[in-house]
Structure 1
Amino acid sequence: MTQQLIAPVPVVARVQRVAHFTDTYLPRRDGVVTSLRTLCDALTADGCETVTVAPRHRSQNPCPELLTLGSVPCGVADLRLGGWPRRVHLERFAAWRPDLIHVHTPGPMGLLGTIAARRLGLPLVHSYHTDLYAYADAYRIPARAIELGLSWYANRIGVEPPNPDPARSRRHAAIDGLNRLLLDDAAAVVVPTPAVLARGGLPVPDERIFLVPAGVAPRTPSGEDIAEFRRRHGVHDGLVVLFVGRVNREKGVDLLLEAFATITRTLPAAQLVLIGAVYERRWLAGLLQSTGVADRVVVTGQLPPEEVAAAYALADVFAFPSRTDTQGLVLQEAALAGVPSVLADAQLHRTGALGSATRLAEPTPEAYGRALAELLTDPEAARRLGLAARERALLHTPTRYAAAMRDVYDRAAG
C-alpha cells in the first residue's frame, strides 16, 4: 500500500537543509541524475537548502552545492564508486549541519548517507529508483560478488548480515539483504511508481512507503536548434523513431532493433535515432549487423539536455522498450513535446505517470514493431495520443514534486 498524498504532521519547523547522497552524477546522465537535479532546483526555489554528495569526476564543475569524494570506475555502465565511508567523510559532511539525509542510490555513497544518518542522529529518507534485481540479472552479476558486498555493508554499519531466504535465488537473496541493511533505518522510503513494489517488493512496512512521481520541466527548442540537430547527426525529414536512454541490454535495445527491422520492410525510409551512452559497443555493433538496420540507425551517444529536446521535437514516435525501469522520466520528456510513446512493460503502462496515454505492445519484435508502425502511418492517432500524454505529463511539475517531497521530509522528521 503506498501513499501519494502525505498529510503534514506537527513539527517544530519545516526541514530546511537536506543532504542528498547519490552514486551517479554528472557528467553521467540517467534518470536518477535528472530527478535529483530537478528536485534540488525546485527545493532551492521553495526555500529549502540542499547539498549533493557524489563521486568525484574530473569533468565536474565545482559548486558550493556539490560535495564530491574520491572515486574509481567500477567497470559497469560508467558508474564510479566513491571511497568506502571514513571518519573524514562524515566530518566534512557534518560541518554542513543538515536537518535530514536523502539517499538516492544503494552504492557506497548511499551507504555513507545511511551511516551518517545513524551517527549524526538525523532522519533518513531513501528513494528507491532502481530495480536492483533486474539490473543484477541483466549484467549477470555473480551472486558471490553481491554477497561479499552485503558482508562489507553489514560490517560498515556495524550489524550482522541478514539471513538469506532459502526460497530465493542466491543473487536475489543477497539483494534482499542489501535492501534490508539500507532501508531499515529509513523513516520514509519513496518510490516513483507502484511498479517497484509489484516487481520485487521492499522490506519496509507499508506506512513508511510513499509514492512520489518525479516531475519534469518542459524544454522548447528553437527551429534553428532542430535544424542543427538534423544536420549534425544526419537525421532526414522523414519518419523518425526516437529512443533516449542508455543504449544497453537492460533497456531493451535488442528488442527495439529487431522490431525496427520489421518496420523497414514496409517503411524503408524510416529512421531510428538512439540517444544515450553506449557502454557495450561490440554488443551494439553485433545487433546492428544481425538485424540489418545499421544504415537506418543514428547513434549519437550521450547528449546535453538542449540537444535531446531538439530530438524530441523532430520525432514522430518515442520507443520505450525497457522492462527494468521504475518510472522512465524520458517518457514524460517525450510527452511534454507531444510525442506518443510505445511501451513494452505492462506494469509501467498500468501504473506509470502517463498511464493509458501511451501505447502498450507485447515484448516481441513483431508486436512491438507493429505498434510503432501503426503510429508512424496514422499521424492523427499519433497526434491524439501525444496530446493526451502531454496533459498527463503537465500534472507532474518540478514544483509539485518538491512540495510532495517536503511533505515526506516533514513526516520523516516529525
Structure 2
Amino acid sequence: MKIAMFTDAYFPRINGVSVSVKSYATELSRLGHEVCVVCLEYSQEQQRSSFFNEKESDATAPFKILRIPSTSVVFSKEDRIVRLNTWHYLKKSLDKFKPDVVHLNSEWTIGYLGSIYARHRKLPCVFTFHTMWEDYLSNYVNFLPDISLRKIGAGIVKYYLKRADEIIAPTQRIASVVSRYGIDKVPDILPTGIPEEKLKYSIKRGMAVRSRLYSKCPGIKGKKILLFVGRVVKEKNCAFLLDVLREIQKKNKKTAVLFVGNGPYLEELKELAENQNLTDSVFFTGYIPGEDLIYFYRMASVFTFPSKTETQGLVTVEAMLSGLPVVAIGELGTVDVMQGDNGGFMVKDDVNEFAQKVQLLLEDQNLRKEKSLEAKSWGAKWKISSLTPKLVECYEKAVAVKTSEKNGLKNE
C-alpha cells in the first residue's frame, strides 16, 4: 500500500506528533509499504540547531519525505506554516507518488492541504485526532478570551473529523470527545507505539552517556535522580517538580531533578530553580537524541511526570519499558496509559501526595523492584511491532468506505 502521511510537525521539530509519524512510517516501511511523509521545510538555523540529528535526516529515512516550502509564524518560534503558492507543487509531487490513502496527523496548513488533496483525488482519508486543541490553543494565542479559543480549537478539529473516512484516537479519552463534538463515527483506538530500537542498551555507550552527564552536571553525581523527559514547555507543568523536590529533600537531601529536553520554557525554568536556591539539585541536559534516552531512564530512580495536558504520554511508556517506576499526575493521557497505579503511582495534582509516592519508591527498594517489573510488563502493550498491523487495518477500512461510496455513486 502507498501511504501519504501529512503532518505540520516533523523533525527537526520535536513533539509527540512528529515522533508518532516517524515511528509508524518507519515500521510501515519495514512491513513493505511505501510511505511519503509530507511535512514542512524548516529554516537553516533550525536544521543546524541541536534539535537536528544526522540519524534523523531525510536522506537516511527508510521512507520518502516531501518538504513543503514554509514561512515562520509570529506566535511560535518552533513552528512554521506553508507558503501560499505551494499547492501546485504539492499536488504535482504527490501525483508522482500516487498514494492509495491519505493519513492526516495535524490540523493546520499541511493537514489542510492533505484534506484538499484527498478530496481532489477522491482518495480515502484517515485522520488521527492527536491534540485537544480546545485545551492547547491558549498556550499559543493569548489575545482572545479562553471561551473563544476553546470554540475555535474545537471547530478546527471538527472540520477534519467530518471529512475523514476513518478516525483514529490515541486514547479512549480522546475518542470520547469525537461523539461530544457531534460526529457520528466510531474512532479506532490506536496509541503511538514505541520502536524496539529505542530500548536497545549498550554498556559501553551507557558509560559514555553517564560520563558526559557527570561532566556537564557534576553536582548530580551520587544523588538519586528524579527524571523528567519531554519538551520543556509551560503546559508540561515542569515547575511543579521543583516544589516536589523541596518536599523530598526534607528527608532525602541527596536527591536531584534532571530535566531531559529542550523547549521555550527552559530558560525561565532555570531561572526559577536559581531563584529558589535549587541550582545544586536541579539539572538540565538540553536536547538528547532519542536513541540515548534509554540510558537516562536506566540512570534514574523514579520517572516523575507532572504534565496535565498529555494526550498520550509516550515518555511514560518509554520509562516503563525501561523498568523505571513512574509517579505521574493522573489527568488526560496519563490516565489512559497508567489506568491506576500500574508501573508506579498515579496521583492527584497535589505536591504532598506526589512527593510521598516518590519517597516510597526511594526508600523501599523491594517496592521499587516490584514496580519496576510491573512497569515493564504493563508497558509491553505499547510496542510498535504489535500496533502497526492495526494501523494498516484502519487504512483498509478507509479504502473500503471510499470504494463503497464510489460504487454507490455509480449505481445511482
TM-score, reference length from structure 1: 0.85
Alpha-carbon distance in structure 2 between the residues aligned to 1:355 and 1:200: 24
Alpha-carbon distance in structure 1 between the residues aligned to 2:77 and 2:306: 18
Matched with 2:291 is 306
Measured after TM superposition, the shift of residue 197 of structure 1 is 4.2
Matched with 1:259 is 244
User: Alignment partner of 2:97: what SS?
Assistant: coil
Cα pair 1:131 1:325 within 8 Å, conserved:
no
Alpha-carbon distance in structure 2 between the residues aligned to 1:405 and 1:143: 37
User: Alignment partner of 2:126: what SS?
Assistant: strand
Superposed, which structure 2 residues align to 1:259-408 within 5 Å? 259-352=244-337, 356-357=341-342, 358-408=344-394
Measured after TM superposition, the shift of residue 325 of structure 1 is 0.6
CA RMSD, 1 decimal: 2.2
Matched with 2:103 is 102
Measured after TM superposition, the shift of residue 228 of structure 1 is 2.1
Q: Which is further off, 327-336 or 33-42? A: 33-42
Sort the Cα spacing of 1:34 and 1:361 in 2 relative to 1 into closer, same or farther, 3 A.
Answer: same
Paired amino acid for 1:62? D
Q: Identity percentage over the alignment?
A: 24
Sort the Cα spacing of 1:253 and 1:198 in 2 relative to 1 into closer, same or farther, 3 A.
Answer: farther
Alpha-carbon distance in structure 2 between the residues aligned to 1:353 and 1:77: 33
Superposed, which structure 2 residues align to 1:107-126 within 5 Å? 107-126=108-127
Alpha-carbon distance in structure 1 between the residues aligned to 2:16 and 2:22: 10
Alpha-carbon distance in structure 2 between the residues aligned to 1:403 and 1:206: 25
Alpha-carbon distance in structure 2 between the residues aligned to 1:383 and 1:71: 49
User: Alignment partner of 2:37: what SS?
Assistant: strand
Paired amino acid for 2:173? A
Matched with 2:18 is 33
Matched with 2:90 is 89
Paired amino acid for 2:194? V
Measured after TM superposition, the shift of residue 372 of structure 1 is 1.6
User: Alignment partner of 1:298: what SS?
Assistant: strand
Instruction: Answer yes or no: is 1:65 the counterpart of 2:61.
Output: no
Paired amino acid for 1:387? L
Could you report, residue by residue, the CA deviation over 1:140-169 in whole angstroms, capped at 9, with x for unpaired residues? 54338xxxxxxxxxxxxxxxxxxxxxxx92
Alpha-carbon distance in structure 1 between the residues aligned to 2:184 and 2:320: 31
Alpha-carbon distance in structure 2 between the residues aligned to 1:200 and 1:237: 48
Instruction: Answer yes or no: is 1:223 the counterpart of 2:209.
Output: no
Cα pair 1:70 1:83 within 8 Å, conserved:
yes
Paired amino acid for 1:68? R
Alpha-carbon distance in structure 1 between the residues aligned to 2:266 and 2:116: 37
Alpha-carbon distance in structure 1 between the residues aligned to 2:179 and 2:277: 40
Structure with a larger share of its residues in helix: 2
Alpha-carbon distance in structure 2 between the residues aligned to 1:141 and 1:197: 28
User: Alignment partner of 2:284: what SS?
Assistant: strand
Q: Which is further off, 198-207 or 339-348? A: 198-207
Consecutive unaligned residues of structure 1, counting only runs of 5 or more, are 1-15, 145-167
Matched with 2:137 is 136
Instruction: Answer yes or no: is 1:170 the counterpart of 2:148.
Output: yes
Cα pair 2:310 2:334 within 8 Å, conserved:
no
Instruction: Answer yes or no: is 1:181 the counterpart of 2:177.
Output: no
Superposed, which structure 2 residues align to 1:2-41 within 5 Å? 16-41=1-26
Sort the Cα spacing of 1:237 and 1:363 in 2 relative to 1 into closer, same or farther, 3 A.
Answer: same
Sort the Cα spacing of 1:170 and 1:248 in 2 relative to 1 into closer, same or farther, 3 A.
Answer: same
Measured after TM superposition, the shift of residue 137 of structure 1 is 2.8
Could you report, residue by residue, the CA deviation over 1:312-341 in whole angstroms, capped at 9, with x for unpaired residues? 111111011111011111111111110011
TM-score, reference length from structure 2: 0.85
User: Alignment partner of 2:327: what SS?
Assistant: strand
Cα pair 2:39 2:65 within 8 Å, conserved:
yes
Matched with 2:404 is none
Paired amino acid for 2:375? A
Measured after TM superposition, the shift of residue 392 of structure 1 is 1.8
Cα pair 2:310 2:332 within 8 Å, conserved:
no
Cα pair 1:20 1:53 within 8 Å, conserved:
yes
Measured after TM superposition, the shift of residue 291 of structure 1 is 3.3
Alpha-carbon distance in structure 2 between the residues aligned to 1:93 and 1:202: 34
Cα pair 1:213 1:353 within 8 Å, conserved:
no
Paired amino acid for 1:391? S
Could you report, residue by residue, the CA deviation over 1:46-105 in whole angstroms, capped at 9, with x for unpaired residues? 221101011112437333610001123334261222324522222222221000010111
Could you report, residue by residue, the CA deviation over 1:367-388 in whole angstroms, capped at 9, with x for unpaired residues? 2222222212222212211211
Paired amino acid for 1:72? T
Cα pair 1:142 1:171 within 8 Å, conserved:
no
Measured after TM superposition, the shift of residue 37 of structure 1 is 1.4
Q: Which is further off, 327-336 or 394-403? A: 394-403
Sort the Cα spacing of 1:94 and 1:36 in 2 relative to 1 into closer, same or farther, 3 A.
Answer: same
Larger relative contact order, structure 1 or 2 (CA cutoff 8 Å, min sep 6): 1
Measured after TM superposition, the shift of residue 192 of structure 1 is 0.9
Q: Which is further off, 208-217 or 117-126? A: 208-217
Matched with 1:158 is none
Alpha-carbon distance in structure 1 between the residues aligned to 2:339 and 2:27: 21
Matched length: 376
Alpha-carbon distance in structure 1 between the residues aligned to 2:28 and 2:283: 37
Q: Of the candidates 225, 232, 245, which is equivalent to residue 240 of structure 1? A: 225
